[in-house]
Chain A
């Protein structure tokens, strides 16, 4: 290799072109655009040898993004972003057996794919400390994209303009309104006014299909440009510390010594893995289709139980579970801290060890984060905080007593809404303790004290129940063992 070629390669500039490499047609293209040599240079740029399967998640996210762009544009050709007709157009799009329904399924599963791949990519980069010098901007642009993709997920779910979508907009606006000073402005920006209105959906549609994707395109361009400029990070080697003074030289030297051309030696894994995932998405879309729409977007239908899609359920659980005293503060503070922490990470720690084995706390943080997301997701599906509005009264067999006061107490257990949150013999809610054997655990006095005073999650019944009713209820609960 000549010196000039080596310098060219080190700078990622195309080597001087000799036209005879290309045929008549490609030669013309190359002469007029210079694109072919540049693409060749990109394809042939050397990457570290040991970048194996762990490195495919970033490109898989890109594959998912491209799928989302294509399917999203297709859906936009059928979807009517008008709050009066959107629901009908969605029903039409969702008609089983149509190609549109499959495309909607692709867009739905593609969103899941993108979020999951992005999450794994984030974890991989964090675990291998690939965000350290000189790749700080790659990390920061990635963090911005992370939140943009979550914003895409949120706005996308609201475009499914059904009952759940409408209440999701409200929940989103109410969270935003907690922001100090700016809050109400943010909330009204999101709703396009001081309340839900005809322009709300148009605004969400414009954010989801124009603004956010435009930003994403720009950021993806930056992200990929930086990956090419700074090179793919090497798999970490314990003891090989990142030193900003020498890193670039050493990296170049190593890659020149024993690197491989990106295409196809490294890229085949990206292509195969990404394509396999797209195929899986097609299979899921074709097999299961898009999620069913809930009731129409009519806020006067109040029997709603809005929930986000599965990959955001964990956050929904957090909203129910913050200690009540600080919940309003944390709604704002927690996301801000998360954003600040992620963005500052490569700025405060950009050198030193990269190997996970030398950074046990990084492994710990990832395990705790995944564990929390996993358990919060499970909890989100159980929804223990959801009052079981449909719980029927206890049957005579369950009450198992003919003492009039006990029978009256059992009726009160249902009529006074206790059953919404407490379970007896498998019937009722699970917010509060199961009371099937409460008679063994609490005395009469303790029972009436608890009923009258309530708790953080339980309303006090002093003033709701008469003395007689309280007595009957306690009589009934006492018989539970």
Chain B
């Protein structure tokens, strides 16, 4: 059955004859292997993992319309482009916000439910925001008032430049763990 012609005795002699040489060979094999794996693995790991460490947060200001598009007291759904989204992705870079012009100030709520991220829907009469996914409800200020969400909708910046209304874009909010009782 055996493929080689080394008898067990000589093999045993080989193994005992040069223990330091064998150690060197093992070290050489594992060492060169580890070095090659590390050299090729570093750029691979970096490419795969870099996006995981991309910082979220706010992006630039984007035009969302003119003053005439935002009658006072009315809540308007606007579309913006998320910051940092690669531009060749098609529609995937779009995101939405609810913008309300109120006497004296503006309210812009990022349309990402703070439970698990579904888009919420504003209701004209009550002014409440309902989430279709698990029934979360936010009041007109974006404060979570019923259902699973534990924190309010995120606010975005709005500014008026002449007649133009601009919104400060933002990445997807990623709520971290809030301990029971610790929510705002």
Contact = CB atoms under 8 A, between A and B. Distances in A.
Contact of A188 (B53, B85, B178): B53
A198 B88 contact: yes
Given A459-B128, A460-B145, A298 B91 contact: yes
Interface in B19-35: none
Contacts of A187: 174
Nearest to B98: A302
Interface residues of A, number: 75
A185 interface: yes
B171 to A, nearest CB: 4
Contacts of A83: 89-90, 92
B148 A464 contact: no
Given A171-B133, A322-B148, A324-B148, A195 B176 contact: no
A326 B180 contact: yes
A386 B133 CA distance: 7
B65 interface: no
B177 A197 contact: no
Most central of B90, B96, B123, B180 by chain A CB within 10 Å: B90
Interface string A323-338: 0111111001000000
B174 A173 contact: yes
A82 B119 CA distance: 23
A195 B135 CA distance: 24
Contact of A196 (B93, B120, B137): B93
A329 B177 contact: yes
Contact of B54 (A186, A194, A303): A194
Interface in B104-124: 111-112, 115-121, 123-124
B46 interface: no
A460 B123 CA distance: 15
Given A298-B91, A459-B145, A463-B139, 16 more contacts: A167-B118, A187-B174, A192-B51, A194-B172, A195-B56, A195-B93, A197-B85, A197-B92, A198-B90, A302-B119, A319-B148, A325-B180, A328-B177, A385-B134, A417-B125, A458-B146
16 contacts: A167-B117, A170-B117, A178-B177, A183-B177, A186-B52, A189-B51, A193-B54, A193-B85, A302-B111, A324-B147, A326-B180, A328-B177, A328-B178, A387-B130, A458-B137, A464-B126
